[in-house]
Structure 1
């Protein structure tokens, strides 16, 4: 999911204004006077976010979703089969479905018997006894009207819209709010099905696009059913639906390993010629990501951009595109395509087990953007992109927040994007060997393909590859909301005094650059005041700059002279 838009005139203005604040945006890294408040979590949020025994007792390996969509009435009528295996003995399990929907049948497929259940908010507790390793299947019929998105994709839900020709043009986005707003399932990121089938029925003058492989359509009584098959594991918020009058663009991408990837874009008919040209840039994006992160994860299921009635979303193999065919600052790159395509590796293939660790998706995808520009235009453009993104870092909340609460607020905790990218950049400077750093990224991607991970998995790999212990680095950057603060002051004799002011004692290994009189030095601040004698320049003053390559804040503190 894309957060910020690039706007270089704003950056230029901020450079002219120096480090002052304008419209609440600061060019320098800053820490807030007060950290952000953890919100009150409702009963519904807790039931949706927690991994209770009613969820951990079973694993879903396959869904089959059949859905009849009525755009005029904005309603859904569907069935879903849930095929699962018991991980422990249990007598009750939890699935999830928004309370807007009525459940008209809930049946165990093997025994054909109706099952009793009770509902609490979105949670549906099904009374069913199974023993460990026993496989079972449920079939659920339901109908109702899904909630409308307030601001898709960030405030999720269904988007009911019409294109300029008056045709229905609809979609859904549900990363933070959860897919149980439109279909029944085990709604938790820790459980991905191994495969899935989708059957979407719409009025026959429209098309219904889903994830994965197109398996044909049938038309009966002015209704058409479009069938799709997802042959890989999928995190369930990525299961999606697009309805509209689309036209198909077919291409082939030649991958780094010689494989051919089938590309099938679906766009509004009036944008067909524009899209054919605009979407060509995708090939360059895929090539860089394959080079840095390994082979595209979904060759069997192809790739498609689908024109959507909202800005964008990383729906696996069926990415939502709604950016109006506009390139951004370099006039060659559409950031929606660039960012959402990166999610095919970070988020879709390698998936955070809980939204508390969503930086592994959003921070990595944001960093993938700047790596693209480094490859395309060189290291200077890479640094410019990073320094632009740094403007928007707020340091209000830790990067890793509470598990079990499905909490991902695109405004309050937007640092998972830009600060997440800066954490990776800062790590790169500390490792100071690109061969090791990029090996870490590619190994993390390839070793965890189609898997669920958390931050500790990445930290463990960093330590293993570097043969060093970087826990000190991640303990601060991930679990402390503030950026490391370096206090400094220059005495009348030109002696620079400096120390860390808000970090743990173990944070004494971070190396910073110091430039003075066109010479570069490396300093390693600690919690004790250290000194560096600055050479006097020809104008009689002392000039220096701290490194701009590591994420930290600076504080001028005269009391260091007395320390």
Structure 2
């Protein structure tokens, strides 16, 4: 019981409530595509940041390159207090702005010309919010390592990147040409960012580490990590050629990291098999040690799992299979395909990130340990499902669905695999998603439609039942000799998912609906159960 309570506590990844939630104007300004966001298309960020660990403050600038879609003169930029905008410069002129909470409205002297490409630079400074429970309740984490040196990182998936730097803080628009990230830190420290290291330079202010991301990147994936790091790496022979895999860890942990990170190549092999090529060969792959559990920062996956298998040493499934891999390496790297390659347009659809990536844990086991091990694991994680709220949240107000998006999402996908009865087709769908939605932002509806079409199955009610309600389908059944009667309860109208019944040890497909149906077998029914791979409940009626 004690271990179960511990794991339940660990697995509540997002702090959510089952009670009704109200939303205010700040939620709408953050979560909707406002007119002041809609008229411009983000092309590139040039982000320069100087970090002072002693004062726990930062200052810098962000030069935003954008294309004008419609002539307008007011732009929304987001930055959360206590960070502040010091100045805004466009065409060498200082612009004025007004603020409404975290939304700042920059006023251009005239309408921007349609189809033109423009730049403006925002200077900012302040002491960013200290993370309370990173990465979920995020901000900056300021710690010291065992030798007393600063150990600093940001993580801001839920709270948003605007907690520390000014940007277009909505997931629908990503910089098409990536991010140039320069981080200045004290001379005895190393600063690691996303993408590839392109150089360093020293000044009286410290050392500046220059990183470059050439691919589109979601705002919350931009990160800076500062510490007394050492570096090692390897070259992985992948589906698109040589992939640089780099590791940045605290000096005292190098030996442990070299042992634990041997799992990384096996992760990449499994995920390229199931999902297709790693999406960011141009920007490399890296693991970076941080002073919190870890997060899926694009091409810069952060790691803090104490160099051990499981989730902080625990098996989330209770089956033993969760101790066969390092949860943070596998789960957070899985996000490179689902979250970083394929990104939700609205955080209400974050199950696309977390459900598919929780499922990737299952597929890693499938690849290396077999199908039964994978099934044991994903079915074991059902004990974490609360069914407190639907896993799709409320649109346009920056509101995620239930934390069930993780392992309910994984079990939805595991159930869907059973319906296809064709693992090659299922694999082709997962690879196809990453190919056809390559470097795109998408909605749940788009993914639902894609899978339905590729599977050749009308999954409308399937998605509606599992994503938009908290009801778990209940198969009620009665046995009379060799006759089996069955129906669904706790389902939406039209839900008719077939399931496999194991009758006298033999698998048989049955096709329940909300109305009673019957099927007669050649022998008296001695035993009957629904195959465990289907995420349904069952009850025998006398």
Structure 2 spans left out of the alignment, 5+ residues: 9-16, 311-319
2:145 touches 2:151 (CA, 8 Å); kept in 1?
yes
> How far, CA to CA, are the matches of 1:145 and 1:488 in structure 2?
62
1:535 touches 1:542 (CA, 8 Å); kept in 2?
no
Does residue 543 of structure 1 match 2:522? no
**Hey, what does 2:99 align to over in structure 1?**
119
**Hey, what does 1:477 align to over in structure 2?**
466
> How far, CA to CA, are the matches of 1:343 and 1:256 in structure 2?
18
1:517 touches 1:535 (CA, 8 Å); kept in 2?
no
1:499 touches 1:526 (CA, 8 Å); kept in 2?
yes
> How far, CA to CA, are the matches of 1:384 and 1:552 in structure 2?
16
**Hey, what does 1:366 align to over in structure 2?**
358
Deviation per CA, 1:492-544, whole angstroms, max 9, x where unpaired? x6865432123233212x1111123222221111111223568998xxx9432
Does residue 204 of structure 1 match 2:187? yes
Deviation per CA, 1:323-367, whole angstroms, max 9, x where unpaired? 010013455421110111111111111111111111111111111
Query: How many residues matched?
Result: 521
How many angstroms does 1:422 deviate by? 1.0
**Structure-to-structure mapping, 1:58-137, within 5 angstroms:** 58-108=40-90, 110=91, 112-128=92-108, 129-137=111-119
**Hey, what does 2:518 align to over in structure 1?**
531
2:394 touches 2:400 (CA, 8 Å); kept in 1?
no
**Structure-to-structure mapping, 1:321-340, within 5 angstroms:** 321-328=303-310, 329=320, 332-340=324-332
Q: Please, what TM-score do these two structures have when normalized by structure 1?
A: 0.88
Superposition misfits of 4+ residues, deviation over 4 angstroms: 22-25, 329-332, 493-496, 532-537, 555-558
**Hey, what does 2:494 align to over in structure 1?**
506
**Hey, what does 1:415 align to over in structure 2?**
404
Structure 1 spans left out of the alignment, 5+ residues: 1-6, 12-21, 26-34, 559-563
**Hey, what does 1:243 align to over in structure 2?**
226
More deviation, 468-477/380-389: 468-477
> How far, CA to CA, are the matches of 2:521 and 2:528 in structure 1?
8
> How far, CA to CA, are the matches of 2:394 and 2:450 in structure 1?
23
**Hey, what does 1:220 align to over in structure 2?**
203
**Hey, what does 2:315 align to over in structure 1?**
none
**Structure-to-structure mapping, 1:441-520, within 5 angstroms:** 441-490=430-479, 496-508=484-496, 510-520=497-507
**Hey, what does 1:56 align to over in structure 2?**
38
> How far, CA to CA, are the matches of 2:244 and 2:489 in structure 1?
54
Q: 1:115 to 1:208 in 2, by over 3 A?
A: same
Deviation per CA, 1:106-133, whole angstroms, max 9, x where unpaired? 111x2x1211211111000111221321
> How far, CA to CA, are the matches of 1:348 and 1:196 in structure 2?
14
**Hey, what does 2:26 align to over in structure 1?**
44
How many angstroms does 1:37 deviate by? 2.8
| RMSD of aligned residue pairs (Cα, Å) | 2.2
**Structure-to-structure mapping, 1:254-273, within 5 angstroms:** 254-257=237-240, 259-273=241-255
Question: Which of 371, 381, 388 is equivalent to 1:379?
Answer: 371
> How far, CA to CA, are the matches of 1:482 and 1:192 in structure 2?
35
Question: Which of 134, 158, 174 is equivalent to 1:192?
Answer: 174
Deviation per CA, 1:458-501, whole angstroms, max 9, x where unpaired? 2222232233322221122222222222334556x686543212
More deviation, 498-507/298-307: 498-507
1:107 touches 1:114 (CA, 8 Å); kept in 2?
yes
2:349 touches 2:400 (CA, 8 Å); kept in 1?
no
Q: Please, what TM-score do these two structures have when normalized by structure 2?
A: 0.91
Q: 1:225 to 1:24 in 2, by over 3 A?
A: closer
How many angstroms does 1:24 deviate by? 11
> How far, CA to CA, are the matches of 2:23 and 2:521 in structure 1?
52
More deviation, 361-370/176-185: 361-370
1:398 touches 1:482 (CA, 8 Å); kept in 2?
no
Does residue 553 of structure 1 match 2:537? yes
1:176 touches 1:407 (CA, 8 Å); kept in 2?
no
> How far, CA to CA, are the matches of 1:517 and 1:63 in structure 2?
63
SS of 1:139's equivalent? strand
How many angstroms does 1:45 deviate by? 2.3
SS of 1:90's equivalent? coil
Deviation per CA, 1:233-266, whole angstroms, max 9, x where unpaired? 0011000010100000121111134x11112210
> How far, CA to CA, are the matches of 1:556 and 1:49 in structure 2?
46
Does residue 426 of structure 1 match 2:415? yes
SS of 2:253's equivalent? helix
How many angstroms does 1:449 deviate by? 1.2
> How far, CA to CA, are the matches of 1:554 and 1:434 in structure 2?
26
> How far, CA to CA, are the matches of 2:324 and 2:477 in structure 1?
42
More deviation, 38-47/227-236: 38-47
Whose relative contact order is higher, 1 or 2, with alpha carbons under 8 Å and at least 6 apart? 1
Question: Which of 146, 149, 153 is equivalent to 2:131?
Answer: 149
